C-alpha cells in the first residue's frame, strides 16, 4: 500500500526496484488491493512482477471514488471487481482473493458465495477474508474453504490473540498479519517528523501524546534486546511473530529495497524459548498504550452500478 498511499510520497521507479529486490531475496507472496491508490498499486505490482512465478494476493470491497471511501460486498459486483483487478495485474489468475472489509449491508455468506464462483471459473485459486469477526469467519468457511484471514497483528497490537487467532486455527485458516512492524514503530526508526508525514500514523492514537511516549519506551527496550542478539529491532519483531506458529505469514509493507532485504532476513532468525521469555519480560504485552484507529469504513459510498 505504501507504494501508492498512506505513508508519504513514493516513486514508481524506486518502488519497482524494491519489488524486484524482494523477488531476488526469495519473497514469494505479494499482497495488494484494488483500493490502494484506486488501482495504481495493482498496476505497479503487476508490471514489477511480470514474468515471475510468485504468488499475488489482492483484495476487493473497499471502494475509493471522488465522493469518498465506502464498502461494497454485493455479490453482483464481485466478478467485475475481480476482472478489473486481473486486468490491472496483467494476470489470468489471482492466487489469493480477499474480501477486504465486510459490507455490513450484505451477509458475508452471500459475498463469499460470489467469490466461490470465481474459484470455479478458474479466476481465483484461494479465498481470503480481512478484518473479520470470529463469527463472520465461521460463516465464510461454511460457504467455501477460506485459505487465510488477514488482520493487524504485531507486538504492538496483540488483540487478535484473544479472538480471531484461536478461531482461525480451529477452522484451519491461515493467519496473515498485516502491519507486523506496528506501522513502522517496531523498527525503532520513527520520530515525530515521520509520524507527521503519514496519514495512517498521524490519525492513529498509538502515535499521539502520552501513548507514543509509552510506546517509544517499549521500543527502546526492544532495540536493546535486538542489539544483544545482533539483529535489528524490526527483525526481532518479525521473528517474534514468526515464532507464534507455522501458520503465521507476516506481510510487512516496505517502500525501500534495503528495508525489504532486512525484513526478509528475519525469516532465518529462530528465537528460542529463553529469548521469547526475555522478550515478554522486557517488552510486555500490557506495556503498549493506546487503541488503534477504527478500521470500520462507512458503506454509504457504494461501488459498481
Active site residues: 36
**CA 295, CA 274: separation in Å to the nearest integer?**
35
Pick the closest to residue 102 from 147, 67, 139 (CA basis): 139
Burial class (CB in 10 A: 0-12, 13-18, 19+), 102: buried
Pick the closest to residue 152 from 141, 160, 144, 163 (CA basis): 160
Pick the closest to residue 283 from 226, 206, 231 (CA basis): 226
**CA 45, CA 32: separation in Å to the nearest integer?**
8
User: Looking at 78-203, which runs of residues are DSSP E strands?
Assistant: 94-99, 124-130, 148-152, 174-178
Amino acid at each position: 500500500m505504501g507504494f501508492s498511499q498512506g505513508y508519504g510520497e513514493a516513486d514508481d521507479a524506486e518502488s519497482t526496484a524494491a519489488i524486484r529486490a524482494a523477488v531476488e531475496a526469495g519473497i514469494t507472496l505479494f499482497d495488494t488491493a484494488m483500493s490502494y491508490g484506486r488501482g495504481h498499486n495493482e498496476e505497479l505490482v503487476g508490471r514489477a512482477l511480470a514474468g515471475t512465478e510468485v504468488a499475488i494476493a489482492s483484495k476487493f470491497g473497499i471502494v475509493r471514488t471522488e465522493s469518498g471511501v465506502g464498502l461494497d460486498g454485493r455479490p453482483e459486483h464481485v466478478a467485475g471487481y475481480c476482472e478489473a483487478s486481473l486486468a490491472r495485474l496483467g494476470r489470468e489468475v489471482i492466487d489469493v482473493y480477499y474480501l477486504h472489509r465486510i459490507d455490513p449491508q450484505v451477509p458475508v455468506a452471500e459475498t463469499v458465495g460470489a467469490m466461490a464462483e470465481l474459484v470455479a471459473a478458474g479466476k481465483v485459486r484461494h479465498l481470503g477474508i480481512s478484518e473479520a469477526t470470529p463469527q463472520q469467519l465461521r460463516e465464510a468457511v461454511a460457504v467455501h474453504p477460506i485459505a487465510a484471514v488477514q488482520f493487524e497483528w504485531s507486538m504492538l497490537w496483540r488483540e487478535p490473540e484473544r479472538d480471531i487467532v484461536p478461531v482461525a486455527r480451529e477452522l484451519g485458516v491461515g493467519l496473515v498479519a498485516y502491519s507486523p512492524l506496528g506501522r513502522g514503530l517496531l523498527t525503532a526508526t520513527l520520530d515525530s517528523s515521520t509520524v507527521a508525514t503519514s496519514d495512517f500514523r498521524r490519525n492513529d492514537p498509538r502515535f499521539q501524546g502520552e501513548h507514543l511516549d509509552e510506546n517509544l519506551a517499549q521500543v527502546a527496550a526492544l532495540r536493546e534486546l535486538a542489539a544483544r542478539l545482533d539483529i535489528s529491532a524490526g527483525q526481532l519483531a518479525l521473528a517474534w511473530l514468526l515464532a507464534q506458529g507455522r501458520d503465521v505469514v507476516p506481510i510487512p509493507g516496505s517502500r525501500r529495497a534495503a528495508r525489504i532485504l532486512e525484513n526478509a532476513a528475519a525469516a532465518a532468525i529462530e528465537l528460542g524459548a529463553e529469548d521469547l521469555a526475555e522478550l515478554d519480560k522486557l517488552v510486555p504485552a500490557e506495556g503498549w498504550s493506546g487503541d488503534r484507529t477504527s478500521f470500520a469504513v462507512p458503506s454509504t459510498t457504494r461501488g459498481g452500478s
